[in-house]
Amino acid sequence: MKGNVLVACILMLALPAVGQFKYYEQGIEAYQQKDYAKAINFFTEYIDKPARDKALDVDVHYYLALSYFKTNSHTSAVREFDEALQLGHKNAGNIHWFMAKSYAELKAFPDALNSYGKAIQLITDKPNQAKLFYERGMVYEKMGNLALAQEDVQNALAADPTNVEARKASKELGAGPSTQVAQNQVKPEPKPAETRGTEKKNDALPTTDKSVPAAPLLMAPAGAAASSVVPTLADLYKDEKRYALVIGNSNYQHVSPLRNAENDANDMAEELKKSNFEVIKVINGDYNQMRDAFRKFHEKLATGPKDQTVGLFYYAGHGIQNQGENYLVPVEANVQYEDDIPRTCMPVQRIIMANMERSNSRINILILDACRNNPFPSGYRSAESGLAEIRRAKGSFIAYATAPGSVASDGNGRNGLYTQELLNAMRKPGMTIEQVFKEVRKNVLRLSGDRQYTWDSSNIIGDFYFKF
């Protein structure tokens, strides 16, 4: 009898994994039929299920990345290619090649150069090496480094003198076929890693190596436009569209008001405008006002240029967590029982993050200065202390005023300590978003006497700068 029960339990555990396998098969079938949108749905459904054969994850991420690439969703493609590499996919050369192409489309040129460098090391057949050198040369050209562009074009011709695109580029860059580098002058590249799967040639992309030299400011070679210079950060990101929703709630009707939240939101909105954000602002918003503002904000992200849009959501006010979900508290909320929380407060993961992900954003930034103590009467405190960490948020940078599960006090000056230091760091030019929030963490920790630890998590691809 016990043996039968054991067998039954094993079968019950195995059934969910078998059931999920159909999503993998349907994803592969949709990909082979070039229905990439359907393939993305099936692969995403599979990867979201805890009961699955995780040995297939590496291939699922790879084909999911290829599907995103085919639909020009390059931010998502890079993220999934990187997942496949982290899981040890053996088709590394092609993956790096695809990543380089996606980075180039996103105008993340340093990342594209890094990926092309890695692909060149792994892919050694001459026709494909010629394509790699040519494509990397075109990235150098876009960056204004015509000397390195010429060098890569000549390397392409040395690897494959029949490459039509390289021959044409050589003439346009002012170096005809008579100046082609001899093939034996090209340094031998290491042999590629063992490949996996059926994707070849244009179905794989390279990544750039840290050893690839940055484009120095050089004089344009003879025959090139004299005005060709290395573009600035502002030049590289000039087509980026930035949208922000800023909410600050201070004047609560049923709990104690907050001293700084309104000021924090007003100051943040003004600073974001100086960083080229189009800002929607809500001060002391009720539930309907917050929801309506978010709807307008999401429309901006959904209709912005694909992979050139940045979304930023900032909230200062009361925030609580309940059953693993974080909620932002509108000014009229009156929580008497646990079920009042999802009815009267705005969920962060389920509404805000989920919809920001379903947009054209290349990066979504979520900043929560909302980690104060649960404000509601002690008899109804089913909510937990502080905010919960958001563990799954694709292409997002998430920042908290204090560590998940902890609380921070409202400040005594015009701004709260966290937003005060964030505003100061945002004003410094040339700092990536990661550097900005490290600066914030260091200063908040020092000024709070080691009592307040800020927190952030990220899985963004590419760089973001508040100030150039």
Task: Name the strands in the sheet holding 277-283, side by side, starting at the edge strand that comes first in the sequence.
Answer: 277-283, 241-248, 309-316, 361-369, 396-400, 455-458
Whether 159 is in a domain gets the answer: no
Mean pLDDT of 403-432: 83
Mean pLDDT of 350-371: 90
How far is the C-alpha of 72 from the C-alpha of 205, rounded, in Å? 14
Whether 227 is in a domain gets the answer: no
According to DSSP, residue 71 is labeled: T
Q: Is the predicted pLDDT of residue 13 greater than 50, yes or no? A: no
| One domain, residues 331 and 279 | yes
| One domain, residues 195 and 321 | no
Q: What is the pLDDT of residue 422?
A: 97
Q: What is the pLDDT of residue 44?
A: 83
Q: What is the pLDDT of residue 297?
A: 97
Q: Is the predicted pLDDT of residue 387 greater than 60, yes or no? A: yes
3 state SS of 428: coil
Q: Report the chain's mean pLDDT, rounded to a whole number.
A: 80
For residue 277 the two structure tokens come to 């954000």
| One domain, residues 386 and 273 | yes
Mean pLDDT of 4-25: 55
Res. 18 pLDDT band, cuts 50 70 90:
low
| One domain, residues 197 and 299 | no
Whether 179 is in a domain gets the answer: no
For residue 432 the two structure tokens come to 């990536």
Residue bearing the bigger pLDDT, 322 or 441: 441
CA dist 355 to 311, 315, 434, 462, Å? 11, 16, 23, 21
Q: Structural domain of residue 333, as residue ranges?
A: 235-458
Q: Is the predicted pLDDT of residue 228 greater than 50, yes or no? A: no
Res. 179 pLDDT band, cuts 50 70 90:
very low
Q: Evaluate whether 247 touches 315 at the Cβ level (below 8 Å).
A: yes
Q: Is the predicted pLDDT of residue 208 greater than 90, yes or no? A: no
Backbone angles phi, psi at 68, to 5 degrees: -65, -40
What is the DSSP pairing of strand 361-369 with strand 396-400? parallel
Res. 376 pLDDT band, cuts 50 70 90:
low
How far is the C-alpha of 377 from the C-alpha of 336, rounded, in Å? 8
Res. 325 pLDDT band, cuts 50 70 90:
confident
Closest C-alpha among 288, 120, 272, 161 to residue 280: 272
Whether 409 is in a domain gets the answer: yes
Q: Is the predicted pLDDT of residue 178 greater than 80, yes or no? A: no
Residue bearing the bigger pLDDT, 104 or 210: 104
Q: Is the predicted pLDDT of residue 290 greater than 90, yes or no? A: yes
Whether 104 is in a domain gets the answer: yes
How far is the C-alpha of 260 from the C-alpha of 92, rounded, in Å? 50
Whether 350 is in a domain gets the answer: yes
For residue 26 the two structure tokens come to 């349907």
Q: The domain spanning residue 316 has which CATH number?
A: 3.40.50.1460
- Token pair 């039954």: residue: 8
Q: The domain spanning residue 23 has which CATH number?
A: 1.25.40.10
Q: What is the pLDDT of residue 399?
A: 94
Q: Evaluate whether 418 touches 448 at the Cβ level (below 8 Å).
A: no
According to DSSP, residue 194 is labeled: P
Q: Evaluate whether 171 touches 181 at the Cβ level (below 8 Å).
A: no
What radius of gyration do the chain's Cα atoms show? Answer: 26
Domain final residue pick, 155, 173, 208 = 208
Q: What is the pLDDT of residue 442?
A: 94
Residue bearing the bigger pLDDT, 41 or 227: 41
- Token pair 């993050």: residue: 353
For residue 80 the two structure tokens come to 């999934």
| One domain, residues 202 and 241 | no
- Token pair 């105008």: residue: 107
Q: What is the pLDDT of residue 11?
A: 41
Q: How many CA atoms lie within 13 A of 276 on its CB side?
A: 14
Write the pLDDT tens digit of every residue in 124-148.
899 999 999 999 999 999 888 999 9
Measured between its terminal Cα atoms, the distance across the chain in Å is 72
Q: Is the predicted pLDDT of residue 195 greater than 60, yes or no? A: no
Pick the range with the lowest mean pLDDT from 77-81, 314-318, 421-425, 428-432: 77-81
Q: Is the predicted pLDDT of residue 365 greater than 60, yes or no? A: yes
How far is the C-alpha of 243 from the C-alpha of 37, rounded, in Å? 26
Write the pLDDT tens digit of every residue in 168-177.
998 888 754 4
| One domain, residues 304 and 435 | yes
| One domain, residues 275 and 409 | yes
| One domain, residues 202 and 279 | no
Q: Is the predicted pLDDT of residue 327 greater than 50, yes or no? A: yes
| One domain, residues 279 and 417 | yes
| One domain, residues 291 and 437 | yes
Q: What is the pLDDT of residue 307?
A: 80
Q: What is the pLDDT of residue 380?
A: 46
Q: What is the pLDDT of residue 409?
A: 58
| One domain, residues 198 and 248 | no
Q: What is the pLDDT of residue 194?
A: 37
Q: Evaluate whether 448 touches 409 at the Cβ level (below 8 Å).
A: no
Q: Which helix (H) or strand (E) holds 89?
A: none
Considering 102-111, 181-190, 349-358, the range whose residues carry the highest mean pLDDT is 349-358
| One domain, residues 319 and 405 | yes
Q: What is the pLDDT of residue 110?
A: 84
Mean pLDDT of 36-42: 89
Mean pLDDT of 441-457: 90
Mean pLDDT of 364-376: 78
Whether 427 is in a domain gets the answer: yes
How far is the C-alpha of 331 from the C-alpha of 284, rounded, in Å? 6
Q: What is the pLDDT of residue 237?
A: 86
Q: What's the domain count of the chain?
A: 2
In degrees, to the nearest 5, what angle opens at C-alpha 382 toward C-alphas 378 and 385?
Answer: 85
How far is the C-alpha of 290 from the C-alpha of 77, rounded, in Å? 32
Pick the range with the lowest mean pLDDT from 44-48, 101-105, 378-382: 378-382
Res. 28 pLDDT band, cuts 50 70 90:
very high
How far is the C-alpha of 255 from the C-alpha of 368, rounded, in Å? 19
Whether 145 is in a domain gets the answer: no
Write the pLDDT tens digit of every residue in 40-98.
988 888 877 776 777 888 898 899 999 999 988 887 888 889 888 888 998 999 999 99
Q: What percent of the chain has pLDDT over 90?
A: 45
Res. 320 pLDDT band, cuts 50 70 90:
confident
Backbone angles phi, psi at 76, to 5 degrees: -65, -35
Q: Evaluate whether 82 touches 461 at the Cβ level (below 8 Å).
A: yes
